């Protein structure tokens, strides 16, 4: 007899999930560990003193550029303010004239209302005689012409006053724009200087000493280059003097029949330029030790272009306010041909300027926190040079 099949259902096999739980826990633990390691990772390396020096120099340069923008906006704002004030004065005068014209018209209108007006026929019949009629008519015609002229004058003055008021509105809008640029430039300067101060304040005493060493090294290298330029200029001058003496000797060895009527205008021109340069340098030397203050034009402090402007003003020459405008004044000069009093400009954006004093040195107002001083022209990258006057 065959065996009967079992009616019990097979029991489902349950797979254990313990290994999966263990794997997930391990994965989470690994992520946590990695996160902890990331959090505990070493901070970004501290910048080197050389990097700090470059950063600070860059900030001061940006502040110098912003200072020139500030000077430019300040000058534009002052000019626009003067124009607005002039327009407002003109409007006030025109208002007085307009009121006078209005009163004249009012007098004519009052007189016409008070006296009334008769038709020409009635006037003829009421006149004592024909001659009186014609005399009276002639007088009335003249009065009418005067009234018409008064109306024309009033309308003209009214139109002129309206035009000036429109000009004043436009000028005030321009003034507002200039003042906005002025505030923006001022804030930019302050931000860059604050950033530089913050960066320097984080240095240790040892780091500050190292920074000072780097600064001194930079100055020494610039002075060596200045000395080289001084030697070249001295050699060039000696050669020029030698050739001049040879030319003078050759002229003296001639027949001697010359009348000596030369005007010597070249010598006089050189003498005048030398006199101006002496005045410029005398003024600049007198400012040494005074602080650099951005936007300042003296007499107690200066920014770079404020000093050059004031120095050349002492020699009777008016220079524009900013470095960007000063570089366009006068004759462009090669570095090898510099003479005392010439202006030397720096950086590609022409954001700094100094006064050449000879021997590769200049007098300039360097930067915030520093005083007017003598320095090698090679302390900064040279853009170009100009001889004003």
Number of domains in the chain: 2
Residue 365 · residue 380 · CB < 8 Å: no
Residue 35 lies in a domain: no
Whether the bond between 299 and the residue before it is cis, its omega within 30 degrees of 0, is yes
Write down how long the chain is: 389
Q: Is residue 93 part of a domain?
A: yes
Residue 41 falls inside a structural domain = no
Tokens of 156: 């003209």
Whether residue 175 is contained in a domain is answered as: yes
pTM metric for this prediction: 0.67
Give the end of a domain, one of 176, 202, 228.
Answer: 202
Q: Tell me the per-residue pLDDT of 135-190, one tens digit each, with 9 for 90 and over.
A: 656 555 655 666 667 667 767 777 777 787 787 778 777 778 878 888 888 898 88
Q: What is the pLDDT of residues 263-300, one digit of tens each?
A: 444 455 678 888 999 999 999 999 999 999 999 999 99
- Residues 283 and 382 grouped into a single domain: yes
**Alpha helix (H) residue ranges in the chain:** 18-39, 49-115, 120-126, 130-201, 205-252, 265-286, 304-313, 323-326
CATH of the domain at 365: 3.90.1720.10
Residues annotated catalytic, as ranges: 304, 352, 364
Burial of 158 (C-beta count, 10 Å sphere; 0-12/13-18/19+):
middle
Q: Which of 354, 59, 20, 329 is nearest to 197 (CA)?
A: 59
Structure tokens at 6: 């079992």
Q: What is the pLDDT of residue 27?
A: 46
Q: Are 59 and 146 in a shared domain?
A: yes
In the chain, what is the straight-line distance between the N-terminal and C-terminal CA atoms, in Å?
Answer: 136
Q: Are residues 194 and 54 part of one domain?
A: yes
Q: Per the domain annotation, does 111 fall within a domain?
A: yes
Same domain, 198 and 58: yes
296 and 198 in a single domain? The answer is no
Strands 361-364 and 373-376: antiparallel
Final residue in a domain of this structure, among 172, 202, 232: 202
Domain check: are 289 and 378 in the same one?
yes
Taking the CB of residue 344, how many other CB atoms lie within 10 A of it? 22
CB 366 within 8 A of CB 292: yes
Residue 160 lies in a domain: yes
Based on the fold, state whether residues 187 and 279 are members of the same structural domain: no
- Is there a single domain that holds both residue 282 and residue 191? no
How far CA 207 is from CA of 54, 197, 221, in Å, comes to 14, 15, 21
55 with 189, same domain: the answer is yes
Q: Is 167 in the same domain as 294?
A: no
Tell me whether residue 63 is exposed, middle or buried, using C-beta atoms within 10 angstroms of its C-beta: 0 to 12, 13 to 18, 19 or more: buried
pLDDT score for 308: 98
In a domain, 370, yes or no: yes
Q: Answer for the pair 161, 95: CB distance below 8 angstroms, yes or no.
A: yes
pLDDT per residue rounded down to tens, the chain (389 residues): 444 444 444 554 544 444 444 444 444 444 444 454 544 555 667 778 888 888 888 888 888 998 998 998 888 888 878 887 887 887 787 777 767 777 776 776 666 566 555 455 445 444 555 566 556 565 556 556 666 676 677 677 777 777 877 877 787 777 788 788 888 888 988 899 898 889 888 889 998 999 999 999 999 999 999 999 999 999 999 999 999 888 888 876 555 454 444 444 445 567 888 899 999 999 999 999 999 999 999 999 999 999 999 999 999 999 999 999 999 999 999 999 999 999 999 999 999 999 999 999 999 999 999 999 999 999 999 999 999 97
CATH classification of the domain holding 64: 1.10.287
Q: Specify whether the CB–CB gap between 354 and 304 falls below 8 A.
A: yes
The verdict on residue 62 lying in a domain is yes
Instruction: Output the furthest CA–CA distance in the chain (Å, rounded).
Output: 173
Among 185, 202, 219, the domain-final residue is 202
Domain interval for residue 284:
272-387
Q: How many C-alpha atoms does 383 have within 13 Å on its Cβ side?
A: 18
As given in the structure block, the two tokens for residue 238 are: 């000696």
Q: Are 64 and 169 in contact (CB under 8 A)?
A: no
């Amino acid at each position: 007899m065959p065996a009967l099949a079992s009616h019990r259902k097979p029991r489902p096999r349950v797979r254990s999930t313990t290994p999966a739980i263990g794997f997930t826990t391990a994965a989470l633990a690994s992520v946590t560990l990695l996160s902890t390691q990331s959090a505990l990772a070493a901070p970004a390396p501290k910048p080197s003193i050389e990097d700090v020096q470059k950063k600070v120099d860059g900030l001061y340069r940006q502040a110098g550029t912003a200072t020139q923008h500030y000077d430019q906006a300040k000058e534009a704002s002052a000019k626009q303010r003067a124009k607005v004030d002039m327009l407002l004065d003109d409007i006030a005068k025109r208002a007085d004239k307009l009121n006078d014209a209005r009163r004249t018209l009012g007098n004519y209108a009052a007189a016409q209302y008070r006296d009334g007006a008769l038709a020409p026929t009635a006037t003829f019949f009421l006149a004592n005689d024909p001659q009186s009629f014609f005399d009276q008519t002639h007088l009335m015609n003249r009065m009418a012409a005067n009234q018409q002229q008064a109306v024309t004058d009033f309308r003209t003055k009214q139109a002129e006053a309206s035009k000036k008021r429109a000009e004043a509105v436009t000028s005030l809008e321009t003034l507002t724009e200039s003042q906005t640029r002025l505030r923006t430039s001022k804030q930019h300067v302050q931000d860059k200087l604050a950033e530089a101060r913050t960066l320097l304040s984080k240095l240790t005493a040892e780091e500050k000493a190292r920074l000072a060493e780097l600064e001194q090294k930079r100055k020494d290298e610039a002075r060596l280059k200045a000395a080289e330029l001084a030697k070249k200029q001295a050699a060039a001058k000696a050669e020029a003097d030698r050739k001049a003496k040879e030319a003078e000797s050759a002229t003296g060895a001639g027949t001697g029949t010359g009348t000596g009527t030369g005007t010597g205008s070249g010598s006089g021109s050189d003498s005048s330029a030398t006199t101006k340069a002496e005045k410029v340098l005398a003024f600049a030397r007198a400012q040494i030790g005074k602080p650099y203050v951005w936007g300042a034009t003296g007499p107690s402090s200066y920014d770079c272009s404020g000093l050059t402007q004031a120095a050349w003003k002492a020699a009777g020459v008016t220079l524009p306010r900013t470095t960007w405008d000063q570089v366009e004044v006068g004759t462009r000069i090669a570095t090898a041909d510099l003479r005392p009093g010439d202006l030397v400009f720096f950086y590609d954006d022409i954001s700094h300027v100094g006064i050449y004093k000879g021997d590769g040195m200049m007098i300039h107002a360097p930067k915030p926190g520093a005083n007017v001083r003598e320095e090698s022209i090679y302390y900064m990258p040279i853009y170009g040079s100009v001889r004003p006057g």
